[in-house]
Structure 1
Amino acid sequence: MLPALRDTLDRLPETRWPRLWLTLLCLALWLPGFFTLPPGDRDESRFAQASRQMVDSGDYVRIRLGQEERNKKPAGIYWAQAASVQAVEALGLGHRGEIWPYRLPSLLGAWLAVLATFHWGRVLVGRRAAFLAAALLASSVVLVVETHIAKTDAALLATVAAAMGLLGRAYLAPPTFTAAQAAGFWAVLGVSILLKGPIGPLVALLAGVTLAAADRGAPWLRRLRPLWGLPLMLAVAAPWFVAIGIATEGRFFSESVGGDMLAKVSAGEEAHGGPPGYYLLLFPLTAFPAAFLALRALPAAWRDRLNPGTRFLLAWAAPSWLMFEAVATKLPHYVLPAFPAVMLLGAAWAMDPLRRPAPRWLAALGMGLLVVVAAALGIAAALLPWFADHRPDPVALLALPAAGLLVWGTLAALRRRGIAQAGLAAALLAVPLYAVVLGGVLPRLTAPWIGPRLAELLAEAAPSGEVQGQFGIVGYHEPSLVFATGADTTLLRDGAAAAGFLAGAPGRIVAVSDRDKAAFFAALEQRALAVRSLGTVEGYNYTRGRRLTLHVFQGAT
């Protein structure tokens, strides 16, 4: 390994400006693709479109997607996205039709989570270990992906990391925990409720109950001032909940609690199910490249469970992880609120000069999984343009040496500098791999980005925007299409409905999938309607796993 890199690995945890260096690492890891990746399906486009309609309408209470109410999540993330869009437009940096302004709250939330992990982790595991843990969290695949998606989870992580950091301080040093810190704890949980309902408070509650049971008491609980803290938490969130209850006549609560939350608990919603152990099996990927270090630390963390800092981190991570494993609906990012604790446990073991080595089989498993996941990412990125667009891409081939560099650098640091430096090397060397995949490969694909390409075709047909309210589509109803073409897009049931839409007014435009084309032309013939072709858009609907062709027609004017 180069001497300069060796010196960097040794000095970074002791730097005079740790937050600055962590910020620069976050930017290097997260900015590739942030501005250039088109809007994704389905959640990102749903959130972004609902926030866009909130800005357009000026109604910051009700949440709507197209013409329908979106009674699933509270308004916190929509407010944050609306504010970021308005700020971007006020500064002249972009406009509400672009996706990246809606991603800014995710980027900011992830950054705050990393800084919170370092700030409060210093009390739990020490400065050097907290720096390493924050770097590992920043480089984890799941958080890198979440920074590129305009939805709740990265922002939620910021509130969880801050609240749990404050709870950890109350647990370790109750006499010095101030009323202002207690107020911060409850206020942050209130913000967490506005972002994603009960998830943040549940993480804190499970940790508190676990600690109280393990310690046979909770002397720290009084220092949290729950008598006025709980009302403060509710007061932060209550005004909007009251307003949305009135505005929707109670529909928000029946649909969000009964139709969304309980459905996820009892059944795999939208086919997102998985067996118990799902998150453990995915951990080598979601925590990549840090998983090899975190896995080695598990036996030592359990042996050290009587240490107050370790005890708190185990109480943070373990019950929350089990809760997410028990829920029927499973998505890789659900377990993200436990990641700061997992990274702090791993970093504490790695930085301990008296640490007991991990079992050989566990160390070999961790390194083997690092190699396998790096190779899988590199090979998948290299082959993706061929499978998606049926073309080779020289840029995509760079993913293979980038993955090889990460593995080589991590192994070299492990042999020569130790496990802690290997973890930091992995975090730093993840930068070129993510840059290739997120900044070079995915934005250059064409097949998955059907909505933006269709919007470009419509812009050529109606450059002044008169297509708004006059465009319908059958066979492709993904949210990214609505974000790209506008909330007035009419989603049609079948080919006959598309013909009827054209007959409704002269000059209307429809897009018809290849599956509905025959029925569309049959209906045109019955109605004696004349149309002209504006072109076709071919692509791959990755949410349904099939290719499709959209034929675009305009009725006679």
Structure 2
Amino acid sequence: MTGDLRKTLNTREWGALIAILLLALLPGFFSIPVMDRDEARYSQASSQMMETGDYIDIRFQEDPRWVKPAGIYWMQVATSAPFGGPDAPIWAFRLPSLIGVLIGGILTAWLGARIIGAQGGMAAGVMLGLTLMAAVEARTAKTDAMLLAAGVIAQAALFFLLTQAKGSPRPKFIGAPLIFWAATGAALMIKGPIVTLVSVSTIAAYGIWTRDWGVLKRIRPLFGVLVAAAIALPWLIAINIKTDGGFFMESVGHALLGKVAESDDSHAGPFGYHTLLLPITFWPGTLFVGLAAGLAWTKREHPAVKFLICWLVPTWLIFELIATKLPHYIFPAMPALAILAAWGIKDAAELWSKKWPRRIHLAFLGLFVLATAILAAVPMIAADYLGTTMMSAPNVLAIIFGLIAIGAGIMAARRPSALPRLAVLMAAGIGTYWAVFQGAIPALKPLWPSYYVAQEVGKLTGCEEIMATTAGYREPSNVRYLGTRTYLADTGAQSAEFLLGHWECGVAIIDVTEQQGFLAAMSEEGVAPYPVNIVSGHNYVKGDDLDLTIFILEEGQLNWPSAQE
């Protein structure tokens, strides 16, 4: 990239940025079925809000969903209501996540442009939006993509407040302080105090480093807390009144504090977990992490670099230290890394002339090659594991695009600021996403048993509403596809009892592991259920193979198409 004194992107560049991000994020957005477990739970809870008209309490069937605030559910309601409401396709519930990543990429570009120029900002926004982390989160109907958006807004405002010269007059509240606190309040409604944690650690680190504590006045905390409270408190008060304090105990006691002391839901990991995953989660930007490190060290006295380091490093350390670990926890820190990496690309010639930055850069080139090879091979490995076609067109294309990405990465590593080489790398990354997300993942049919069971159940006629039960396969995607009143039984005998209680319009989906108990319970009542079809699949949450038989009662009203012919 050449020197660029412009501090904002022009209209054509903004359009190009959005187009590039959409090209990378849309493959598979409409075609990947509902994913277990988080996406199924979030989208189902949002559906139930529309079904019941209760937008205060959050429920998955009758179970409370009090681990997160209501903000993301309201957003999903807003985006799915025009497309069928509770019956909207899953992509409608994913729209807030797609929008969140787009906002994150656009604001990263905006902030990067003000720090290192328009071309550098463009590179930072593209780099963030093309990360595998963004690719996954934009396609998943849950909180983390929209949390990224709120976090970048807050941190961008904080940048202007922190980097003001000492002794500068306090800014007017209507401006950066208001934006900072409004984003903080919105983030509280999306996922609690995660963004607050990022902001507080940034302020503390920057204050200790610079000994400039004037920021505590510049952020205008008195009015700011009132703004954040005005956004978050009404619902927090309403939900705690309605649940008699249950939401506070669950969300703070379990979902927040519980994750710090010990791993939650078996999501444990060693210190260094996020660092070890970085070559994968930040791919294809992995190639430029070495440049980011070199830039951060050599220009560490630059106020903007100080801010980016104080945004990135404390956040990273905090999430490395807490007991519960999931890859997306580090997402709010990635915009800072993307801007540092884009700055490193801009100053690559200077960094390359120094021995140790060059060595780090080459080390990350090796990690980039390894990560690319792994990602390109995953669809073929998964196909082999699941017993589907290994040499399908999408799987082969993933390998081809992976090889192109490796070649482009090696070329770009030698001249990181050469735009044509970066363009080839970017195109290879987008091509990989098209092959994997649009082609390979939806084609792995064993991964989506709930979807294919619902397709078979949808062929049944004779009842307006079908009452379903499952045994041996309790994942929440069953509820998303088969309806809120679906009974996820613990045993086959429980499913038998449910089917007998809904004999007219009941259907039972029984895995082979529970079929003996189910048939024995039915036999005791003198009833022989009629098996209409079998769906085989794989429960990727538990790692179990499935053989799901769909049963109806011949005495009921339901009819299978073959029985009518």
Seq. identity, %: 33
TM-score by length of 1: 0.93
2:195 aligns with one of 192, 200, 216: 200
Query: Structure 2 counterpart of 1:518, which letter?
Result: Q
The secondary structure found in structure 2 opposite 1:460 is coil
Whether the aligned pair in 1 keeps the contact of 2:288 and 2:344 (CA below 8 Å) is no
Choose 72-81 or 404-413, whichever is displaced more. Answer: 404-413
Whether the aligned pair in 2 keeps the contact of 1:274 and 1:330 (CA below 8 Å) is yes
Whether the aligned pair in 2 keeps the contact of 1:496 and 1:519 (CA below 8 Å) is yes
Query: Structure 2 counterpart of 1:180, which letter?
Result: I
Residue 291 of structure 1: how far off its partner (Å) = 1.2
1:102 aligns with one of 89, 93, 100: 93
The residue aligned with 1:383 is: 381
Choose 147-156 or 129-138, whichever is displaced more. Answer: 129-138
1:237-278 deviations in Å (ceiling 9; x for gaps): 000001101111111111111122222112221211100000
The residue aligned with 1:482 is: 479
Whether 1:229 aligns to 2:224 is yes
Residue 443 of structure 1: how far off its partner (Å) = 1.1
Whether the aligned pair in 1 keeps the contact of 2:348 and 2:417 (CA below 8 Å) is no
Distance 1:387 1:542 in 2: 11
Q: 1:303 to 1:19 in 2, by over 3 A?
A: same
Whether the aligned pair in 2 keeps the contact of 1:121 and 1:165 (CA below 8 Å) is no
1:102-501 equivalences in 2 (<5 Å):
102-173=93-164, 175=169, 177-181=171-175, 182-352=177-347, 355-357=350-352, 358-392=356-390, 393-415=392-414, 418=417, 422-423=421-422, 425-462=424-461, 464-467=463-466, 470-501=467-498
Ranges in structure 1 where 5+ consecutive residues have no aligned partner = 1-5
Q: 1:305 to 1:415 in 2, by over 3 A?
A: closer
The residue aligned with 1:534 is: 532
Q: 1:370 to 1:140 in 2, by over 3 A?
A: same
The secondary structure found in structure 2 opposite 1:305 is coil
The secondary structure found in structure 2 opposite 1:540 is strand
Whether the aligned pair in 1 keeps the contact of 2:47 and 2:86 (CA below 8 Å) is no
CA-atom RMSD, angstroms?
2.2
Residue 18 of structure 1: how far off its partner (Å) = 2.2
Query: Structure 2 counterpart of 1:486, which letter?
Result: G
The secondary structure found in structure 1 opposite 2:459 is helix
Q: 1:59 to 1:462 in 2, by over 3 A?
A: same
The secondary structure found in structure 2 opposite 1:461 is coil
Residue 404 of structure 1: how far off its partner (Å) = 1.0
Distance 1:178 1:523 in 2: 72
Whether the aligned pair in 1 keeps the contact of 2:345 and 2:416 (CA below 8 Å) is no
Residue 319 of structure 1: how far off its partner (Å) = 0.5
Distance 2:414 2:255 in 1: 49
Residue 498 of structure 1: how far off its partner (Å) = 2.0
The residue aligned with 2:560 is: none
Whether 1:18 aligns to 2:13 is yes
Distance 2:452 2:293 in 1: 48
Whether 1:504 aligns to 2:495 is no
Distance 1:455 1:356 in 2: 56
Whether the aligned pair in 2 keeps the contact of 1:109 and 1:158 (CA below 8 Å) is yes
The residue aligned with 2:82 is: 87
Query: Structure 2 counterpart of 1:501, which letter?
Result: F
Distance 2:117 2:64 in 1: 47
Distance 2:348 2:429 in 1: 26
Residue 41 of structure 1: how far off its partner (Å) = 0.6
Distance 1:311 1:360 in 2: 22
Query: Structure 2 counterpart of 1:162, which letter?
Result: I
Whether the aligned pair in 2 keeps the contact of 1:53 and 1:65 (CA below 8 Å) is yes
The secondary structure found in structure 2 opposite 1:123 is helix
Query: Structure 1 counterpart of 2:116, which letter?
Result: V
1:418-460 deviations in Å (ceiling 9; x for gaps): 4776555433321100000000111122101011111111111
Distance 1:291 1:203 in 2: 22
Distance 1:164 1:505 in 2: 54
Distance 1:225 1:354 in 2: 41
Distance 2:316 2:420 in 1: 27
Query: Structure 2 counterpart of 1:34, which letter?
Result: F
The secondary structure found in structure 1 opposite 2:530 is strand
The secondary structure found in structure 2 opposite 1:17 is helix
1:111-162 deviations in Å (ceiling 9; x for gaps): 0111111112223333222211111101100011100000000000001101
Distance 2:163 2:485 in 1: 55
Distance 2:511 2:482 in 1: 16
Residue 187 of structure 1: how far off its partner (Å) = 0.7
Distance 2:519 2:9 in 1: 70
1:173-227 deviations in Å (ceiling 9; x for gaps): 3548442221111011100000000001111111001111111222233222111
Distance 1:114 1:177 in 2: 27
Query: Structure 1 counterpart of 2:404, which letter?
Result: L
The secondary structure found in structure 1 opposite 2:186 is helix
Whether the aligned pair in 2 keeps the contact of 1:414 and 1:422 (CA below 8 Å) is no
Whether the aligned pair in 2 keeps the contact of 1:124 and 1:310 (CA below 8 Å) is no
Whether the aligned pair in 1 keeps the contact of 2:59 and 2:65 (CA below 8 Å) is yes
Residue 523 of structure 1: how far off its partner (Å) = 1.7
Distance 1:406 1:108 in 2: 27
Give the count of matched residue pairs.
543
Residue 26 of structure 1: how far off its partner (Å) = 0.6
The residue aligned with 2:518 is: 520
Whether the aligned pair in 2 keeps the contact of 1:53 and 1:64 (CA below 8 Å) is yes
Q: 1:377 to 1:109 in 2, by over 3 A?
A: same
The secondary structure found in structure 2 opposite 1:206 is helix
Query: Structure 2 counterpart of 1:511, which letter?
Result: I
Whether the aligned pair in 1 keeps the contact of 2:36 and 2:477 (CA below 8 Å) is yes
Query: Structure 1 counterpart of 2:480, which letter?
Result: F
Distance 1:107 1:417 in 2: 29
Residue 495 of structure 1: how far off its partner (Å) = 1.8
Q: 1:176 to 1:464 in 2, by over 3 A?
A: farther
Whether the aligned pair in 2 keeps the contact of 1:97 and 1:484 (CA below 8 Å) is no
Choose 503-512 or 109-118, whichever is displaced more. Answer: 503-512
